[in-house]
Amino acid sequence: MGRQLHLISFEIHSPINHTVLSWAAPGDDRLEALSDLKKWQKLARTLERGMFDGLFFADTPGVFDRYRESHEDAVKYGVCWPSHDPVVLLSALAASTEHLGLAATMSTTSFKPWTIVRQLSTVDYLSGGRVGWNIVTGHLRGEHRAIGYKDVMEHDRRYDAADEFMQVCYALWDSIGEGAILADRATGIYADPDKVRFVDYHGEFFDCETVGPVLPSPQRRPVLFQAGTSGRGLRFGIEHGDVVFAIQPNLPGMMRYMGQLAEASAQMGVKAPGVVFGVQPILGGTEEEAQRNLRDLIERMPLEGCLARLSGTMGVNFEGIDLDKPMREQATNASQGLMKAFTSVLGDRPFTLREVALKWGLSVGMPQVVGTPEQVADELERIWRETGCHGFNMTPNIMPKSVEDFVDEVVPILQKKGIYRTEYEGTTFRENLGLDPFD
């Protein structure tokens, strides 16, 4: 079998995935899903029917509060607010599926290493090794303020703290050694204490004195995803990510990113992790219908909602800036990588602020792949072949139709092309993602 394409569904536990006001579209059921676990379980089973590697939750742990220095636009339009906890959903989804990987975004600002290891590894163990963690450092001021900080921690220092965070996590994951669990009913001995290493970590940011809280799952620990694209973020991703996730506005941006990743990995003397690019398929029975569906999404979006989201991610208040001038790179402690990607010239001219705001409102900058199922399948294949990426993290728009249509109409075409699985190869998320086993 040749190289295979990997697909992940990119969701948010809020009134929308990534498209501002998609909750108001006729037929969208996300508002109902907020209070109905069964809708999420059905969605997970649909993804499993479509042989997806996983369902991946992004998160906005706080509220977008940069635009006009207020949370009001985010609240008014339901832009990732309310922001329900994705981790709580994982165990319900694990119970209703057998193969699907389940990943959640958790920030190294909001949690302690022990809390994340305990929460995620519990579901990982219970699900037979199907959990992933998207490690983010927490770039949102709203998140920092919600937990009692005045402002966002300085960008590179957040990554220094996150490096230390990971050292504690690895120590906790490695604490329970091979053969430690005896569970001998006759002798009453549960575990051999000599094989359970005590973690005694004291660093600049974290202290931890304990033993591993959860038994290792068949994949040992959750699959690690990372999405920083600044220089510092890229190095962090290469060091810790099993898979890195990237948003680039177009093919030239994706190609440039692949080059940067290869170069940085070579400098660090390690193999580059697999890349999944964020994309947003927009389907229609004909090309015209697909374009109309895209226009409907755009026309529904209030510009203030888009700017609320863009200002939040970029850490800059875009109030009062000329929308029709090129968006200029600005110093930020939020996402430096995304700021750079969308202020670089990657075509014939720079993007205006209005264009970037609309891209953010639609899909936080993930490019649209628009057309009939055949056209969408062909374009995904082209990007996958030209970039050499591992696969795609795909944000749906109208729920659950967008996912159901993709599974029913695009997946069979990818399978026919021989580039997409017809059955799951493994039992763990790690195996299905096609990652190297731990040595």
Q: Which residues bind ligand FMN (CB under 6 A)?
A: 58-59, 105, 107, 136-140, 227-230, 232-233, 245-247, 278, 335-338
Asked if residue 82 has a cis previous peptide bond (ω within 30° of 0), the answer is yes
Q: In the beta sheet, which residues pair with residue 224?
A: 133
Considering the complex, what minimum distance in angstroms separates the CB of residue 300 from ligand FMN? 23
Q: How far is the CB of 12 from ligand FMN (least distance, A)?
A: 8
- Residue 116 vs 413, nearer CB to ligand FMN: 116
Q: Which residue's CB is nearer to ligand FMN, number 293 or number 332?
A: 332
Q: Which is nearer to ligand FMN, 140 or 398 (CB)?
A: 140
Torsion on CA atoms 8, 13, 18, 22, rounded to nearest 10: 120
Closer CB to ligand FMN, 290 or 366, in the complex: 366
Give the residue nearest to ligand FMN (CB).
233
Three-state SS annotation for 181-195: EEEECCCCEEECHHH
Burial level of 325, CB count in 10 A (0-12/13-18/19+)?
exposed
What is the rounded distance in angstroms from the CA atom of residue 107 to the CA atom of residue 25?
A: 31
Question: Vertex 118, ends 112 and 123: CA angle to 5°?
Answer: 135
Q: How far is the CB of 309 from ligand FMN (least distance, A)?
A: 12
Closest approach, Cβ 57 to ligand FMN, in A, equals: 8
Calpha distance 328→353 (Å, rounded): 8
Nearer to ligand FMN, 56 or 318 (CB): 56
CB of 318 to ligand FMN, least distance (A): 17
First to last CA, the chain: 24
Q: H or E element: which one contains 144?
A: helix 141-146
Question: Strand pairing partners for 276?
Answer: 245, 391
Which residue number, 175 or 245, has a Cβ lying nearer to ligand FMN? 245
CB of 246 to ligand FMN, least distance (A): 6
Q: How far apart are CA 238 and CA 241, in angstroms?
A: 6
In degrees rounded to 5, what are phi and psi of residue 281? Answer: -70, 135
We find the least distance from the C-beta atom of residue 108 to ligand FMN, in angstroms, to be: 9
Compare residues 226 and 372 and give the one whose CB is closer to ligand FMN.
Answer: 226
